[in-house]
Amino acid sequence: MKSSMIKTGTMLAGFLLAACLSTHAEVKLPAIFSDGMVMQQQTNANLWGTATPNKKVTVTTGWNNKQYVVASDKNGAWKLAVSTPEAGGPYTLTFDDGAKKTLNNILIGELWLCSGQSNMEMPMKGFKNQPVENANMDILHSKNPQIRLFTVKRTSTFTPQNDVIGSWKEANPTSVRDFSATAYYFGRLVNEIIDVPVGLIVAAWGGSACEAWMTADWLKAFPDAKIPQSETDIKSKNRTPTVLYNGMLHPLIGMTMKGVIWYQGEDNWNRAHTYADMFTTLINGWRAEWKQGDFPFYYCQIAPYDYGIITEKGKEVINSAYLREAQSKVEHRVANSGMAVLLDAGMEKGIHPSKKRVAGERLALLALTKTYGVDGVNGESPYYKSVEIKNDTVVVSFERAGMWISGKNCFESKNFEVAGKDKIFYPAKAWIERSKMLVKSEKVPHPVAVRYGFKNYVEGDVYCDGLPLGSFRSDNW
């Protein structure tokens, strides 16, 4: 009996040891590498994770059964790149360091990172009392296994993290309801037009500052950005510099993707003087860390809104048109970028416009025309070029307006102002003659400057190819 008990105990101990070793040996992967994910097509796609230290890790790609071998380091970390085919699937990926781990239902297609603040985060179901236009019907028709969604859980930290919390989901009414509306409408149109699987990873936090998505090193050029020196310096989870980069972006860096869409700027509306430089630094910084070249970076210009609503009583109401102006400079500074103008899609009393399909699809138009090479359509809004003063009339010329500009309902605009040497702007009559806009006011017989839509809230009414002209000014006052 005693011998039998010893033998049984030895066998049990051996079984437990084997189980522990097996558990320890199993390859562990970041959350973004999991069942249902989308990998970027026709490239060398990065994969990384941990395994038993100093152990060989074999990765087998299900689309061609090719094996890739890498050795984990002394801490168990490993990284490699696998060659991906043309769009298709579903496939499997198998990882083996002595214990196999298989990922299933993987699609090969187009992978985009979607980031920013609340107007990127705003889900299809909307916020309380703030719906997304036509969302209920669009959610109803959203079932599409070719669109995959991943939302990064809000995480704000002092120290850069190695992983995020989230999971891949196929597009259906349940998953889409809680997913970013701007990102969903972007992905839906890209999927429809190029007919390949689309993966969307949303890393966004409402109210977040541009500074929060940057590193301390990038922010050295901006003295007003107070870099936290310890956890106690984090006074705001979404506005303190570096904290969202650390918690939500750093774990994703190196993920092979097509590009980025971005919707942010509302929190920086009162710091417009630094935004063009700061946003340019952010884009260049992300690209440098990703080591994937100048990947596409498309962003929304913030929509019009009455910022007097959130301005403390007794304080000057800052004009957000200066922030829109700063944003418009960036697409001319940064290669392979583009801006979706939303001057006709704002809400006077709501900082979260309901027209999220407009935002998402204008971002998609940029991607489809500039990245995917779709011909026959235009993805870029017309842009102010120059002015010429002819007696009492200002003649305005435009770039990116091959089909000339047009009014919303006629050949006039209600959003122009002119000023003389006194720098006082007056509402002006503005009408279209061929490719030009002519502007004049009886109160300004000798105009020297013109502005269009240069206010907190405005309803844009000048277009080309259905895309709105952004607000602009000819002066620098």
Which has the higher per-residue pLDDT, 48 or 408? 48
- Give the number of residues written for the chain: 477
CB distance 317 to 310 below 8 Å? no
Asked whether 364 and 190 are in contact (CB, 8 A), the reply is yes
pLDDT in tens, 278-308: 999 999 999 999 999 999 999 999 999 999 9
Please give the pLDDT value at position 25.
57
CB-count exposure of residue 97 (10 Å: 0-12, 13-18, 19+): buried
**Nearest Cα to Cα of residue 297 among 378, 244, 367:** 367
Strand 56-61 vs strand 425-427: parallel, antiparallel, or unpaired? unpaired
Higher pLDDT, 358 or 7: 358
Is pLDDT above 90 for 17? Answer: no
Residue 359 has pLDDT above 60, yes or no: yes
pLDDT of amino acid 22: 40
Per-residue pLDDT at 409: 76
Residue 15 has pLDDT above 50, yes or no: no
Q: Which two tokens stand for residue 447?
A: 């105009």
Q: In this structure, are residues 50 and 33 in contact, taking their beta carbons and an 8 Å threshold?
A: no
Mean pLDDT, residues 260-271: 98
Class at the top of the CATH hierarchy for domain 108-371 = alpha beta
- As a whole-number percent, the residues of the chain with pLDDT over 70 amount to 95
Q: How far, in Å, CA of 236 to CA of 472, rounded?
A: 33
Q: Please report the DSSP string for 73-127 in residue order.
A: -TTSEEEEEEE--SSEEEEEEEEESSSEEEEEEEEEEEEEEEEESHHHH-BTT-B
What's the helix, strand, coil split of the chain in %, to 5? 30, 30, 40
Cα separation, 109 vs 87, whole angstroms: 5
Angle at 99 between CA 34 and CA 160, to 5 degrees: 45
* Residue pLDDT, tens place only, 67-93: 999 999 999 999 999 999 999 999 999
- CA distance linking residue 352 with residue 263, whole number of Å: 11
In this predicted model, what pLDDT tens digit does every residue of 417-444 receive, in sequence order? Answer: 999 999 999 999 999 999 999 999 999 9
Helices (H) and strands (E) in the chain, counts: 9, 25
For 285-351, the DSSP string reads HHHHHHTS-S--EEEEPPPP--GGGGSPTTSPPP-THHHHHHHHHHHHHSTTEEEE--TTS-BTTBS
Statement: residue 182 has pLDDT above 90: yes
Sign of the alpha-carbon dihedral angle for 139, 140, 146, 152: positive
Task: Enter the tokens of residue 432.
Answer: 């279209």
Instruction: Tell whether the torsion through CA atoms of 465, 466, 467 and 473 is positive or negative.
Output: positive
Q: How confident is the model at residue 26 (pLDDT cuts 50, 70, 90)?
A: confident
What is the rounded radius of gyration, in angstroms, for the C-alpha atoms of the chain? 26
In the chain, where are the structural domains located?
25-107, 108-371, 383-473
Q: Provide mean pLDDT across the span 449-462.
A: 98
Which secondary structure element, helix H or strand E, spans residue 284, and what is its range?
helix 272-290
Sign of the dihedral through C-alpha 66, 71, 77, 79: negative
Residue 426: per-residue pLDDT: 98
Backbone angles phi, psi at 279, to 5 degrees: -65, -40
| pLDDT at residue 14, rounded to an integer | 44
> So what CATH class is 25-107?
mainly beta
Interatomic CA distance for residues 171 and 39, integer angstroms: 16
% of the chain exceeding 90 in pLDDT: 94
